[in-house]
Chains A and B, each alone.
Chain A
């Protein structure tokens, strides 16, 4: 039996973003931990992260090469927050409150969670 971090990475490598949910309190938490933060309750289950999620804040990093990158903190419905790139539209157009689709980008060396704002911009 591996630890929660390894289990989380294995899910990600299959293209699934998962969070933990305490069976007693229903609290959803991320990043992976052995127990629920604040209570130490070890009785939890994996749940699929819901999509779409909401941009809590966003910063744009210009690039000398041309393409700016939008990096956001994204809040998931029901709990959980992640930092990640927002793609699909102009970086400057990504706005707080925007609903973005969650996806696992497996095209690079390591899988990573990103957010797609294409649908929100339509």
Chain B
């Protein structure tokens, strides 16, 4: 057993579903999460009674896993509401794969739901600045990301137009996805002229505030082969945490994705050239640029140039956030699980913007303010 070892392809995502993305008026966060959970179980052809491990988060319930089990009326052998921010769900997936491979449990449900748009209209999170950062008048969390963006621009010549390219590409993907909450045309000019939230980030550099839920069911690949949906094996996954507050970041232009990515590739036994589609947690436009660099798609500092000229939009050199991402698909507060769902849909050929012959999807999620990073490599059965 070496550090970073992972039970490659021994476990699969056997079911996946979303519910209420955009607006789900009259529904609680729990109801949105559980609609998603029931959808994922149905997708897999499993029932509530088959679940013996429960994972997940709700915006305001720090014991969400316990609440999910209670709500479903089940008595799981393992429950985990580990909270690393929006990356939590990929951490849950890692734990679920290890637990299933070790025989500790058989069927894991990972669920999330939020009604932050119709319930309050702003980001719903118990997180905030620590006591020391709170002496500033920075806006949590956007100013943390803005500070990273400003430093990246200073060191590498990244421009607001580069940031806008990310937002426009996301919107172009969203235009082809009926489930995406915002599908209107968006131009670079629109982004550059938009109201500043926390410079250099303007309105269109920031993710949406939506409702929405997501859930996946994970079981052994052997068992998943006999279930309703085509199994999507988890080839490898890894997480890394470098700090919580951006004030403790050292070099704020490099994130822990530079560690989680390479470890995930080693676990999966793949190289970057094998990746057919990339789903990144784009809470802000700078995230996409930072993660493309840190995950190795281009050298550090060249992310701006990499995304220029529609390179990550439909028809570009690399398909990134094919659902429209947190910027245009939906962002209920913790987006990480949606990166996995879109990866599953691409591999199964069921995505709204289907790419041809997707065998390997990379899903990457961010937690905190660039603090926690987690990367998962999903494959088709052909990759086992």
Contacts and interface: CB of A to CB of B under 8 A. Distances in A.
B196 A73 contact: no
Interface string B130-143: 11110111110001
Given A73-B247, A83-B133, A57 B138 contact: no
Interface stretch (B93-101, B148-156, B343-351): B148-156
A83 B131 contact: no
B199 interface: yes
Contacts of B129: 83
Contact-residue size bin, chain A (C-beta under 8 Å from the other chain): 20 to 34
B252 A84 contact: no
B136 A96 contact: no
Interface of A: 5, 30-31, 56-62, 69, 71-73, 81-85, 96, 112-114
Contact of A83 (B132, B200, B201): B132
A99 to B, nearest CB: 16
A98 B197 CA distance: 23
A57 B135 contact: no
Given A57-B150, A82-B132, A71 B252 contact: no
B154 A57 contact: yes
A31 B246 contact: no
B241 interface: no
B138 A71 contact: yes
B143 A113 contact: no
Main DSSP-derived SS at the A contact region: strand
From B129, B130, B135, B150, residue with most partner A Cβ within 10 Å? B135
17 contacts: A31-B130, A57-B147, A57-B154, A57-B252, A58-B147, A60-B199, A61-B137, A61-B143, A61-B198, A62-B196, A71-B138, A73-B147, A81-B247, A83-B138, A84-B135, A96-B154, A112-B135
A56 B151 contact: yes
Interface residues of B, number: 29
Closest 6 CB pairs of A and B: A59-B146, A112-B135, A57-B151, A71-B138, A60-B199, A57-B147
B136 A84 contact: yes
A112 B143 CA distance: 18
A96 B151 contact: yes
A32 to B, nearest CB: 9
Interface in B154-211: 154, 195-201
Main DSSP-derived SS at the B contact region: mixed
B134 to A, nearest CB: 9
A5 B130 CA distance: 12
B47 interface: no
Given A71-B137, A112-B135, A82 B147 contact: no
A31 B150 contact: no
Contacts of B143: 59, 61, 71
A35 B114 CA distance: 39
B248 interface: yes
Given A59-B143, A59-B146, A71 B248 contact: no
A83 B247 contact: yes
Nearest to B197: A61
B150 A83 contact: no
Contacts of B154: 57, 96
A83 B196 contact: no
Given A62-B196, A85-B137, 17 more contacts: A30-B132, A59-B200, A60-B196, A61-B138, A61-B198, A71-B136, A71-B138, A72-B147, A73-B147, A73-B151, A73-B247, A73-B252, A81-B248, A83-B135, A83-B246, A112-B135, A114-B135
